[in-house]
Structure formats: structure tokens, C-alpha cells
Amino acid sequence: MAYSITVNLSAKRLILYRDGSQVRVFPVGVGKTNTPTPIGNYYIASKMANPGGAFGVMWMGLNIPHYGIHGTNNPSSIGKTVSHGCIRMHNNDVLVLSRLVSIGTPVRIQY
């Protein structure tokens, strides 16, 4: 099974695909106007459980330095344009996602 992720910034949704078929949709928080989430094609380059603080229970770093998909200690920020460019998820959601995807999983970020 090949997983891939698409992040739709305008909808503030992360969509998980398996073999090209949508399997899950998660609400996310995204970058502010002055610190936007970068558009483009990336992949998950690292994973770290319990990174602490604002990163919640899981960090999945992208292959672009300082950007990733992570949990949050501020669940009210989900669905908003509030981050420094990262993709924030509810802690339970990021744990579900992190168990399904592996390092190398493609991540497309688009409007």
C-alpha cells in the first residue's frame, strides 16, 4: 500500500490517500500570511514522538528545513491560519496519521 498526503491550504484540510484513493481527511492549522506554509511537493523526512511544547505528541519533518506536520498544545488553532508555516493537527489525528505513513511518504501542499 502506497500512501500519499495532500494538504489543501485554503480548505485547511490534510487528505490521506492510499494507492490514489482518499482514505481520511483531517482538519489542520496552517501558516500565517507573513509566515506561509510553503507550496510544493515534499516528503516526510523524519519522525519524532513527543517533541514537546507547541509540537504536541508527534513531529513529522518535511524535507524542507524547519517545516513539518505536527500535533499541537493549542487545539483551538486547528482550522485557522496561525502557524509559522508548519501544518498543525489535533494530537489524536497526528498519531493516527503517523502510524500509517512512513519516512518517504509524498506530501503535496497546495491552495
pTM above 0.95, yes or no: yes
Cα 99 from Cα 79, distance rounded (Å): 22
Residue with cell 489535533: 90
* Amino acid residing at 93: D
Superfamily for the 3-109 domain: L,D-transpeptidase catalytic domain-like (2.40.440.10)
84 noted as active-site residue:
no
pLDDT at 52: 86
Q: For 50-104, list the strands marked E by DSSP.
A: 58-62, 68-70, 81-83, 87-88
Q: Which of 66, 84, 86, 90 is catalytic?
A: 86
Q: Is 70 a catalytic residue?
A: yes
Question: pLDDT tens, 8-56?
Answer: 999 999 999 999 999 999 999 999 999 999 999 999 999 999 998 899 9
Q: Catalytic residue among 66, 70, 84, 90, which? A: 70
Span 83-92, mean pLDDT?
Answer: 98
Number of other residues whose CB lies within 10 A of the CB of residue 58: 23
